[in-house]
Structure formats: C-alpha cells, structure tokens
Amino acid sequence: MHQLKFDQKVCASCRSADCLLKCQYMKFSGHKEAHGEMMKIMKGKDSRVLTECMTCYACEEYCTRGNHPFYLISERREEKGMFTAPRPITNQWINMTKMQGKYLVGDVKDKALSCCYIPDLGALGTGEIFKDVASAGVFGAEFMCPAVHTHFARMSVIKERLPVVIENYRKLGVKEVICLHDECYGTLTSIASAYGMEVPFKPVYYLDYVLQRMKELKDKIKPLNITIAYQRSCSNRLIPDKLPVVKKIFQLIGVKAPKRTYQDKNALCCAEILRSISGYKLADDVVKRNIDDMVKVGAEYCVFNCPACQISLSEKVAKRGLKPVHIIDLCKMAIGEKERGTI
C-alpha cells in the first residue's frame, strides 16, 4: 500500500506554520500554538485540529515547503477511526463511487478527455474548443479521481482506488489525459505524487487546454465586457500554480474580475462540505460573506470552475442577482457558441 510522503524534519523546522495559521476555520494564538498542533498531528497525538478541521483543502496551498498537511490530517483522522462528516454520508460516498463496470469510453487514441464521474462535464467538454478531443471522453467510477474521500478522511479509499484508476487510463494506451475537473488534475499530480504513485501518462489541466484553444480561436473572440466574480474550488488548492491560468483566460475574453476580499488564497469555498460536516450555521455564514463580497464588487456573473460548486451555489447567487456560469460556458459565450441569455 502506498504511504504518504511527509517530511517530518521540514515541519519540525518550519518557522511559519502557515498551514494552520492561515486556516479560515480555526484560530490559533500564534506560531507556537499552530506549530505545536502540527507537531502533535505528526506524532499521531490528539489535536483539536483533528476535530475542528473543515476539510477545505487550503492548507495544502498554505504550506509552501512541499509538505502535505491536509493529507496528513486526513490520514491521522482515519487512523483514529474519526469521521469528519456523518458516518452514513461518508459511506454513501464510498458506495456511490464504487467501480461497478458501468463506464463509458469514447473514441480514445493518444488523448482522453476525462469527465470524471460527473455527468455535467460531458456537456461542457464539447464544441469548437474541445473539437479535437470531445469524442475521446471517458466517464465513470473507473476513471474518477477519488480525491473526494479526503473530505471524509478516508485516505485508504484513495490509496486503494487511485492506482486502479491510473491503471485503467494506462490500459487505454493514452499519452495525455485532459482533466475537466480540478480535482482530477489535482489527484493525478498532487495526491499521486504525495503517495509516490507513478502516473504513466501526462495529466493535462483543462484550463491550460482551454487557454491554448482560445488563443487559437482568437479571431472568433468577441470580448464579453462583463464583470464577474470567480468562485475558486477547494480542489484548486491542490494545484495553486494553476491559478494564473484563470486570469489569463479572463483577460483574453474581455472579462473583468475586480479584486475582492475572498479571492485567491483567501477564497471561500462553496461551503457544501461545511454544511455536511457541521450543519447550516457555518455554511450559511460562509455563503453569505462570499456572495456579499461578489455583489459588493459589482459582479454580474458568478463564474465556476467546478460543477459541484456550481450546483451548490447557483440558486443562491441567482437569488442575489448574479448569473451562474461555468468558465467553459463563458468561453463558449465569447466565441459566440452560447447565447448570454441561455446561461
């Protein structure tokens, strides 16, 4: 079984302890306390972090020293038999995402377009932007990144399933897998490397692919001239180096994303997992602060990068007068493939 690579020495000598100090859901008096808690976790001792962490993934980004604090927290929780979300919800996710031989594989050659296990992604990965790869779609639990189980502190499920997923892609003989979901790309890069799993093909981040295509389609782009607020997803925290890609796409299609309080490192998640773990109070508060912030900067659209965030927040942003739209659909709007009104 693959083990998490966690360099204890790096942590022991860490002068920032940013992983916990920057956490949006726990308060620490200062470096000493935060670092102390991390040390406890490392040594397998009890820590309040193990009960209070909301699984927002952000400390994976806050630690800039190459360690994986969130994966470690999840490992320790599981070792101690702890549950983040209620047990029946945790098990439901495990059951729901089990491989049952019901998958779809398109006309895959060198490249596969991964739709994970999210039906909405199939419709997104179409049109002029994806014309070369749309027919190479793959979908199903057999090709799903199991990263969601980190929310439920069930790293054993990831360790068991991810090698099978990687092997399933390998068997397709692909050289590249274009991941339509941050979570897939994050899994095949961040998680796979943290657990020393070899990935025998090149994972491609879909927004890199989209950016490249939009450059090629430059002539077709009519600047949208709209103001938006971008909803960063939790799994984007696993691949923070990809954050600038979003901004480049916005520039290319004439979209203004005014600076707001909850963006980039300080972004707030869609809060669905918070609702599941702790109830509506914290979740409603986070959603309210987040949408207030979007409204304050005059955003007309709320732009999503993750279908799960979109499902959870669409109605809520719409009630506040913002139009919910996936970033791919925004690009399709810019090249005239989608009407603004149909969003």
Count of all residues that appear for the chain in the document: 343
Closest CA to 316 of 271, 249, 277: 271
Q: Which is nearer to ligand SF4, 121 or 267 (CB)?
A: 267
Side-chain-side CA neighbours of residue 7 (13 Å)? 10
223 interacts with other proteins by CB under 8 A? no
- Enter the tokens of residue 342: 């149909």
CA gap 79, 154 in Å, rounded:
9
Q: Which is nearer to ligand SF4, 176 or 272 (CB)?
A: 272
Smallest distance from other proteins to CB 277, Å: 8
CB under 8 Å to 219, separation ≥6 — which residues? none
SS3 147: helix
Burial category of 29 from C-beta neighbours within 10 Å (exposed 0-12, middle 13-18, buried 19 and up):
exposed
Choice from 65, 248, 288, 323 touching ligand SF4 (CB under 6 A): 65
Q: Which is nearer to other proteins, 64 or 92 (CB)?
A: 92
76 interacts with other proteins by CB under 8 A? no
91 interacts with other proteins by CB under 8 A? yes
CB under 8 Å to 221, separation ≥6 — which residues? 214, 252, 253, 254, 334, 335
Choice from 28, 41, 50, 54 touching ligand SF4 (CB under 6 A): 54
295 phi and psi, to 5 degrees?
Answer: -65, -40
- Enter the tokens of residue 25: 């859901």
Stretch that binds other proteins, among 131-139, 177-185, 194-202, 310-318 (CB under 8 A): 310-318
276 interacts with other proteins by CB under 8 A? yes
CA end-to-end distance (rounded Å), the chain: 45
Kindly state the number of chain residues that form the binding site for other proteins, as judged by CB under 8 A.
Answer: 22
Q: Which is nearer to other proteins, 12 or 104 (CB)?
A: 104
Smallest distance from ligand SF4 to CB 64, Å: 7
Smallest distance from ligand SF4 to CB 160, Å: 22
Choice from 56, 155, 178, 179 touching ligand SF4 (CB under 6 A): 56
Give the containing element (helix H, strand E) for 185: helix 182-186
Where does this chain bind other proteins (CB under 8 A)?
Answer: 83, 85-89, 91-92, 95-96, 98, 100, 272, 275-276, 278-280, 311-312, 315, 319
Where does this chain bind ligand SF4 (CB under 6 A)?
Answer: 10-11, 14, 16-19, 23, 25-26, 35, 38, 49, 53-59, 63, 65, 67, 69-70, 73
